[in-house]
């Protein structure tokens, strides 16, 4: 749920409009009772269950049983499953089954949540949909046939594709750009004047445009019969019943009032309860409802009007709701000739069946999405693409770990389990993380638009689920199937299940890894590292461990030395980073032993990992006069040459060695300043991005050091807000691996890995990384829909709010290109991305905001995020043909990196030969 503060005013204005010409024939109003229940947002799931969610299902079921003309649609499954498993009686469960059989209760959408469409990954959309649909099929033997995606902040083309492939018959959305929705409402004749920003041609163009109902072909790569779906866009009233009633300053058609947290009021009296329907006022209620139905009817091609009855947290007292609506609907139906409409309770099946029976030929919409979303001229909902970046990163990490855990467990169990691992316990660990990852896909979760306590709830659920799956994977890695023959000499060892003590050693290794220099802590002699590859193909990559000693030997399962590199840690000055080169077959794992070497190679016979050399450069001011490009330091592997300018400590250019083409590339951090006072103009918040002006550089000086080793060279740049500061505010750690592509290291060689540190930010700042190049992209950006397919994003010259309205979500990848080269960015979490100038691509990395908007203050939605964000991107550069093939595989390699399971070694432990 997002702010709906504009609805009451809009309702008043629309009621004053002259009635439009309605479609020919009698108007049928399909009144669809529903309750919008956010899985989180302002209150936690448990608070919502206590305050209203459980009562919705308890009272709705009771009221549907009372009168057979009543209907209700149930949407998200998390609350329903909690009610079903923990609240519902056997009698209520039987009543639900009967209502479903009779079609009077209908599950629509049916996912665990109503997922966000802008910043969720396709894998996670499928997961949460499967989680909800699986429950419905196992419990009732049914599957939903219609979507109800009314509250996500913009509409992705991935969602209709997914829903079509999932067997949905129709798709329903609501939040699309206000300008475009205005135009679509007037587009019944197929041609309409569309604002120039949506056409890119002139100030206003008469173009063909589908209306609010069309058939959407969401994917250009699939056949129409696979992925086309009828789509209904809700009109300007959104999914809520108009709340304004002229004769009552309460809440219109919501007779049960507003939910009270955390516990319902003991006297049953709720605030803002609407005036009951009486003989004295029923004609007034009827006139308002009829006028609204007629107004909506003018925006659609058939005389069938979907009239949603409900809003957030409604129907927690369903008896009050139905007991007031029943006589009102009867009153209207008894005067159909006078009013010109009939009304009936309906499910989505009832409504869409009526549309189908009308035999209308609908317009076709292609694969373009409805992003970004603006609700008003100065309210571009593009800030949430980046809000709460840490939660976005954790959600993706949890998703990747779940995938790894499920594939490892499947490999352990098939074709028959080895050892005595309890499958029931294992499935419980996976199920807990499946629930948590599904939950956080909610449109007020991964979006970062929730209150702090709800963010903490999501985080806790994810971390607990991840802990359980790590325990499962550790148990399998200790005593699971043997490593494949390609990693051994054919010897095999089958063991029994790992003990709890052994599994706990894996978990303790993470918390103890950096404690070696603490008083009273016994330094371990080393670690056992089990490294699992969750991808289906063999990979060659570098894993990085943090160790407490500078002299290290690394051996594999057979005791053979392994290529490695040791260097100073960027996280802890008393620790070291150990880089290990590993090659792992698909869905397999390797075991390594990392030991503290007691002497040098000559004295002990151990092969000690070589120490990387560190070269430090003096601090450079941002605006100092230099001869740019005169003192360039190259960093080279077989795929790229990176050139860094000693006079500026900045990246200067990147050469793609395959094509021998050099692109000038620079990177720096900038900040947008946001207004925090609503009296001074538009504000940025969790949802909205409303900068005061263009972004400004946020640093005064930059330091640089290069750490060169046999496996990789790291370039570390540190950006200081002021030259006198002791601590840097931003950093870029760039890694170029020295692995020949012909040795299985193609993907590793052809990527430039970057890690960023951002924060803590000053108040009301929004931080971006801007990469500027000499590519002639003409401000055309490509960014992905949910890690699935790319969308072209030409810069649109909006007269109002052009900067935020040209921001788009980057879930996994984005690129700019010209006729020679393509520069690709791959992300391990969602960000906002834009091309504001030719050759530029900027990625928003972090936001810290506070404002005095009453809405945000009331619900603690001010996003005063003081955290430090550690985000990462991989950069790829080369000809279009090469990048087209490389981008998808590299994106998977970033999303599903090897999982490392550590265990401390005791002195007496020796290498394990498998």
DSSP letter at 589 equals: E
> What pLDDT is stored for residue 636 in this prediction?
97
Contact status, residue 473 vs residue 901, Cβ threshold 8 Å: yes
Residue 500 scores a pLDDT above 70: no
More confident residue, 189 or 220: 220
Residue 2 scores a pLDDT above 90: no
- How far is residue 872's CA from residue 868's CA, in Å, rounded to a whole number? 13
Residues annotated as part of the active site:
151
- How far is residue 147's CA from residue 853's CA, in Å, rounded to a whole number? 33
> Which SS3 state, helix, strand or coil, does residue 505 take?
helix
Percent of the chain with pLDDT over 70: 87
665-672: average pLDDT: 98
Residue 499 scores a pLDDT above 90: no
Residue 195 scores a pLDDT above 70: no
Q: What is the pLDDT of residues 846-859, one digit of tens each?
A: 999 999 999 999 99
Q: What is the pLDDT of residues 690-749, one digit of tens each?
A: 999 999 999 999 999 999 999 999 999 999 999 999 999 999 999 999 998 887 789 999
- How far is residue 767's CA from residue 757's CA, in Å, rounded to a whole number? 11
Contact status, residue 708 vs residue 717, Cβ threshold 8 Å: no
Percent of the chain with pLDDT over 90: 79
Contact status, residue 654 vs residue 644, Cβ threshold 8 Å: no
Cα Rg, the chain, nearest whole Å? 30
Residue 819 scores a pLDDT above 80: yes
Per-residue H/E/C for 201-236: CCCEEEEECCCCEEEEECCCCCCHHHHEEEEEECCC
Q: Order of strands across the sheet with 304-309?
A: 304-309, 27-33, 341-345
> What pLDDT is stored for residue 245 in this prediction?
84
- How far is residue 102's CA from residue 33's CA, in Å, rounded to a whole number? 16
Residue 826 scores a pLDDT above 90: yes
Q: What is the pLDDT of residues 392-436, one digit of tens each?
A: 999 999 999 999 999 999 999 987 777 788 999 999 999 999 999
Among candidate residues 191, 211, 177, the one with its CA nearest the CA of residue 296: 211
User: How many Cα atoms are found within 13 Å in the side-chain-facing hemisphere of 792?
Assistant: 9
> What pLDDT is stored for residue 32 in this prediction?
98
pLDDT band at 209 (very low <50, low <70, confident <90, very high): confident
pLDDT band at 243 (very low <50, low <70, confident <90, very high): confident
Q: Which residues, listed in sequence order, are joined to residue 192 by a DSSP beta bridge?
A: 207
More confident residue, 606 or 125: 125
> What pLDDT is stored for residue 244 in this prediction?
80
Question: Mean pLDDT, the chain, as a whole number?
Answer: 89
> What pLDDT is stored for residue 598 in this prediction?
73
Does the pTM exceed 0.85?
Answer: yes
pLDDT band at 138 (very low <50, low <70, confident <90, very high): very high
């Amino acid at each position: 749920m997002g702010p709906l503060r504009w609805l009451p005013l809009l309702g008043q204005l629309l009621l004053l409009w002259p009635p439009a010409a309605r479609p020919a024939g009698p108007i049928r109003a399909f009144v669809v009772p529903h309750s919008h229940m956010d899985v989180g947002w302002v209150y936690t799931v448990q608070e919502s269950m206590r305050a209203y969610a459980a009562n919705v299902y308890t009272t709705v079921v009771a009221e549907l049983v009372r009168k057979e003309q009543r209907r209700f649609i149930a949407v998200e499954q998390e609350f329903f499953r909690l009610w079903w498993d923990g609240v519902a009686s056997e009698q209520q469960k039987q009543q639900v089954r009967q209502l479903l059989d009779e079609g009077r209760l209908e599950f629509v959408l049916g996912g665990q949540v109503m997922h966000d469409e802008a910043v969720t990954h396709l894998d996670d959309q499928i997961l949460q949909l499967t989680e909800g649909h699986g429950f419905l099929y196992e419990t009732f033997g049914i599957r939903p046939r219609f979507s109800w995606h009314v509250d996500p902040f913009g509409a992705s083309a991935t969602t209709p594709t997914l829903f079509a492939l999932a067997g949905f018959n129709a798709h329903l959305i609501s939040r699309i750009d206000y300008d475009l929705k205005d135009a679509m409402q007037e587009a019944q004749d197929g041609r309409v004047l569309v604002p120039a920003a949506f056409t890119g041609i002139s100030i206003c163009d008469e173009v063909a445009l589908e209306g609010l109902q069309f058939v959407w072909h969401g994917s250009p790569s699939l056949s129409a019969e696979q992925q086309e779906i009828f789509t209904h866009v809700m009109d300007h009233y959104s999914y809520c019943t108009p709340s304004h009633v002229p004769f009552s300053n309460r809440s219109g058609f919501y007779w049960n009032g507003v939910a009270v947290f955390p516990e319902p009021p003991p006297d049953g009296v709720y605030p803002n309860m609407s005036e009951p329907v009486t003989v004295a006022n029923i004609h007034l209620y009827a006139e308002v409802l009829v006028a609204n139905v007629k107004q909506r009817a003018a925006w659609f091609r058939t005389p069938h009007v979907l009239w949603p009855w409900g809003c957030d947290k409604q129907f927690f007292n369903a008896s009050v709701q139905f007991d007031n609506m029943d006589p009102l609907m009867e009153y209207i139906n008894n005067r159909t000739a006078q009013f010109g409409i009939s009304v009936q309770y309906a499910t989505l099946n009832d409504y869409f069946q009526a549309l189908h029976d009308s035999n209308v030929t609908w317009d076709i919409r292609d694969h373009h999405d409805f992003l970004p979303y603006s609700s008003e001229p100065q309210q571009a909902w593009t800030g949430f693409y980046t809000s709460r970046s840490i939660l976005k990163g954790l959600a993706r990490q949890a998703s990747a770990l779940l995938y790894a855990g499920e594939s490892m467990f499947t490999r352990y169990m098939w074709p028959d389990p080895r050892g005595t691992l309890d499958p029931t316990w294992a499935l419980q660990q996976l199920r807990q993380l499946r629930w948590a990852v599904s939950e956080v896909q909610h449109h007020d979760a991964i979006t970062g638009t929730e209150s702090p306590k709800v963010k903490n709830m999501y985080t806790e659920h994810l971390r607990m689920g991840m802990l359980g799956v790590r325990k499962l994977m550790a148990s399998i890695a200790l005593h699971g199937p043997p490593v494949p023959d390609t990693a051994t000499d054919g010897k095999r060892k089958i063991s029994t299940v790992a003990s709890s003590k052994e599994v706990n050693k894996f978990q303790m290794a993470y918390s103890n890894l950096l404690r070696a220099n603490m008083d009273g802590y016994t330094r371990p002699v080393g670690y056992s590292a089990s490294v699992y590859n969750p991808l289906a193909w063999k990979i060659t990559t570098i894993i990085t461990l943090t160790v407490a000693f500078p002299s290290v030997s690394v051996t594999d399962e057979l005791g053979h030395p392994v290529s490695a590199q040791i260097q100073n840690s960027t996280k802890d000055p008393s620790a070291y980073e150990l880089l290990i080169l590993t090659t792992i077959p698909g869905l397999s794992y390797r075991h390594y032993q990392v030991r503290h070497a007691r002497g040098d190679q000559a004295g002990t016979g151990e092969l000690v990992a070589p120490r990387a050399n560190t070269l430090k450069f003096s601090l450079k001011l941002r605006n100092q006069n230099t001869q740019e490009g005169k003192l360039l330091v190259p960093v080279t592997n077989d795929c790229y040459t990176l050139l860094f300018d000693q006079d500026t400590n900045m990246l200067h250019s990147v050469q793609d060695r395959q094509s021998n083409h050099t692109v000038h590339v620079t990177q720096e951090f900038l900040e947008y300043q946001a207004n925090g006072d609503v009296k001074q103009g538009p504000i940025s918040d969790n949802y909205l991005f409303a900068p005061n002006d263009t972004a400004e550089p946020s640093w005064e000086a930059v330091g640089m050091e290069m750490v060169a080793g046999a496996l990789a060279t790291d370039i570390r740049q540190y950006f200081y807000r002021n030259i006198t500061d002791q601590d840097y505010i931003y950093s870029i750690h760039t890694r170029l691996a020295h692995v020949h592509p012909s040795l299985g290291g193609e993907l590793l060689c052809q990527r430039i890995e970057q890690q960023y540190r951002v924060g803590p930010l000053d108040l009301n700042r929004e931080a971006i990384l801007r990469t500027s190049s000499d590519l002639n992209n003409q401000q055309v950006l490509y960014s992905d829909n949910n890690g699935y397919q790319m969308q072209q994003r030409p810069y649109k010259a909006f007269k109002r709010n052009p900067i935020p309205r040209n921001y788009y979500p980057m879930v996994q990848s984005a690129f700019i290109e010209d006729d020679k080269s393509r520069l690709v960015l791959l992300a391990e979490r969602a960000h906002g991305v834009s091309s504001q100038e030719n050759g530029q691509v900027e990625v928003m990395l972090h936001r810290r905001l506070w404002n005095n908007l009453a809405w945000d203050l009331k619900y603690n939605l001010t996003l005063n995020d003081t955290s430090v964000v550690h985000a990462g991107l991989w950069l790829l550069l080369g000809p279009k043909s090469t990048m087209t093939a490389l981008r998808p595989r590299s994106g998977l390699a970033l999303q599903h990196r090897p999982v490392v399971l550590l265990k401390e070694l005791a002195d007496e432990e020796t290498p394990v030969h498998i």
